[in-house]
Amino acid sequence: SSLQEPEDLPIEDDEDERNLNYNPPAQKSLGEIQELDKDDESLVKYKNTLLGILPVGTVDKESYMVGSYGPRVEEHEYVSPLDEAPKGILSRGCYQIRSRFIDDDKTVHLDWEWNLNISKDWDE
């Protein structure tokens, strides 16, 4: 007997797969999926065992007093105190950080967002 080339092999009949009348569910956001899962006690317990209980929402909020300075031509510079990133596998991930510069009158002079990625290795 001779070996058949891959293109000469018989094609399997896909008829059964085409007649399943399967319609995929509508796409849902992660928040919607989590909302559905919250009532399933067994699933919540399984996820908490597997993933651990993760904090949701604001992780930390810090305010710094930068001092009182009058206007001048040269720019003012402020360097915040050194802080240490969270450690451990449950702290890994991407954090979205919002920084604002607000005066005593609650006027927002600067407002920006930036990300911090905590991973096991810098190559990831």
In a domain, 10, yes or no: no
In a domain, 57, yes or no: yes
In a domain, 9, yes or no: no
Q: Into how many domains does the chain fold?
A: 1
Give the per-residue SS3 of the chain: CCCCCHHHCCCCCCHHHHCCCCCCCCCCCHHHHHHHHCCCHHHHHHHHHHHCCCCCCCCCCCCCCCCCCCCCCCCCCCCCCCCCCCCCHHHCEEEEEEEEEECCCCCEEEEEEEEEEECCCCCC
In a domain, 5, yes or no: no
**Residue 107 is part of a domain; what is its CATH number?**
2.70.50.30
- The residue segments making up the domain with residue 34 are 15-118
In a domain, 100, yes or no: yes
Q: Is pTM beyond 0.85 here?
A: no
Per-residue pLDDT of the chain (124 residues; tens, 9 = 90+): 455 565 666 666 555 556 677 888 888 776 777 777 777 888 878 777 776 665 556 667 888 888 887 888 998 888 888 877 777 776 777 788 888 988 888 899 889 999 888 887 766 5
In a domain, 85, yes or no: yes
